Amino acid sequence: MNPSAVGWLKKLLKLVEKSEIKNTSTLKLYQELKSVGFIYGSNVTTISEVIRNSDYTLEECCKINYSLALLCTYNLNKKNDDSFETKLKSFYTHIGFCKPNFIANIIGESIENTISKRIQTETNIFSKTINTFTTNAFLFIDILAFEIFLKTPKKTKSIIIRLEDYIRSIISEAFNSKLIKSKYDESLIKLLESSLRVSKQANESFESITINEFSKIERLYLLDIVCIAIWNDSKIDSHNQKFINKFRTKFNLSEAKIGVAFKSVNDFYICYKNEIPLLSTQNLAKRFYEQSVIVVKKLIARNSKRIYQELKESKELVKLLSESTFRDLNKEEQNQMQEQMMDLLKSIPSLAIFMLPGGAILLPLFIKLIPKLLPSAFDENRIENN
């Protein structure tokens, strides 16, 4: 399955048709989402082994986990014969995320596109490459709200606003409890703020929040959000501890449960520190290059057959690509290769990214990676090193 191509949702639903994940309990679903990083805003893999693939990006894993969580919620709470996609579209329309317009009314807005937009805090491909805060830290609110929508639709939007208000208040209190704020904290604040969709400002203070307003799952979720906010390389200073004690008392939580939650987020971040952009200490240039390599490799791999076919019909381009692997091309040859490469890209719609303003930045990387990622059969003139 290709989560970035048209038809991915129908394929996903087909693949998990007989999977246990489709009808798992809400509590079990939450624990599985937590184990893969969905609750932490950093999806390192998918919750279903049926569609697990090491080639998926963090964003694609997020899209899959988000869709499966919504599907599970739908199966546990549906009341009529409306399809999952129909109900989901109604949900987005109800909360004001999917707004109909003239074009959408004519051709229809794909639910796949709506899901893709929902999980992004950045819409520009190049901004996403540089600013790696691309996944929504509070997507689980959608899962909670979708459950309410399936039961009592009128309460849905108020539930989202309430949760976002309370989360903002709790996060603010947690951050303010820190004596020294790190670069991680600054990045996390930006990520959290960009992830809140409906509520624009906090209408509730931390002191006014009461335990009776939250379900068991919501309390677990808020506890994990607090752990994310105070996490800082395994350390909890005395100021953090004061806030934790206040939070524990307010939500009637045991010290053991607090300890388990903090250990969980700590173990996850320590284990995946080098894979999660938010925690990376790389400089901007290196991060940009590495993210670009991932994007371009994925595009080449997923379009390899079509690229191979097009290259077979362009012997001059193949010759230049082959020679570029063992010698520097002159200026005229470089220009010729780039022109022909752009002609090739125009014939493959899914590579339209290179046609966008700024796409030329990735073109040299694309040219460099092609000989390594495509079958060597097309490259008859390559000289192999013994």
HEC profile of the chain: CCCCCCCHHHHHHHHCCCCHHHHCCHHHHHHHHHHCCCCCCCCCCCCCHHHCCCCCCHHHHHHHHHHHHHHHHHHHHCCCCCCHHHHHHHHHHHCCCCCCCHHHHHHCCCHHHHHHHHCCCCCCHHHHHHCCCCCCCCCHHHHHHHHHHHHCHHHHHHHHHHHHHHHHHHHHHHHHCCCCCCHHHHHHHHHHHHHCCCCCCCCCCHHHCCHHHCCHHHHHHHHHHHHHHHCCCCCCCHHHHHHHHHHHHHCCCCHHHHHHHHHHHHHHHHHCCCCCHHHCCCCHHHHHHHHHHHHHHHHHHHCHHHHHHHHHCCHHHHHHHHHHCCCCCCHHHHHHHHHHHHHHHHCCHHHHHHHCCCHHHCHHHHHHHHHHHCCHHHCCCCCCCC
* Domain ranges, residue 219: 8-279
- pTM, to two decimals: 0.69
Distance, CA of 202 to CA of 180 (rounded, Å): 24
Comparing 55 with 263, which gets the higher pLDDT? 263
Q: Are residues 200 and 119 in the same domain?
A: yes
Structure confidence at residue 74 (pLDDT): 93
Q: Are residues 185 and 333 in the same domain?
A: no
Residue 36 lies in a domain: yes
What's the pLDDT band for 380 if we cut at 50, 70, 90?
very low
Range with the largest mean pLDDT of 68-82, 97-111, 227-241, 278-292: 68-82
User: Considering its fold, how many domains does the chain have in total?
Assistant: 2
Q: Are residues 320 and 275 in the same domain?
A: no
Q: Are residues 212 and 349 in the same domain?
A: no
Q: Are residues 258 and 313 in the same domain?
A: no
Distance, CA of 165 to CA of 155 (rounded, Å): 15
Residue 386 lies in a domain: no
Q: Are residues 43 and 87 in the same domain?
A: yes
Q: Are residues 342 and 294 in the same domain?
A: yes
Q: Which of 241-255, 290-304, 315-329 has the lowest mean pLDDT?
A: 290-304
Q: Which of 228, 257, 279 is the last residue of a domain?
A: 279
Q: Are residues 241 and 300 in the same domain?
A: no
Q: Which of 65-74, 151-160, 185-194 has the lowest mean pLDDT?
A: 185-194
CB of 170 within 8 A of CB of 206? Answer: yes
Q: Are residues 155 and 266 in the same domain?
A: yes
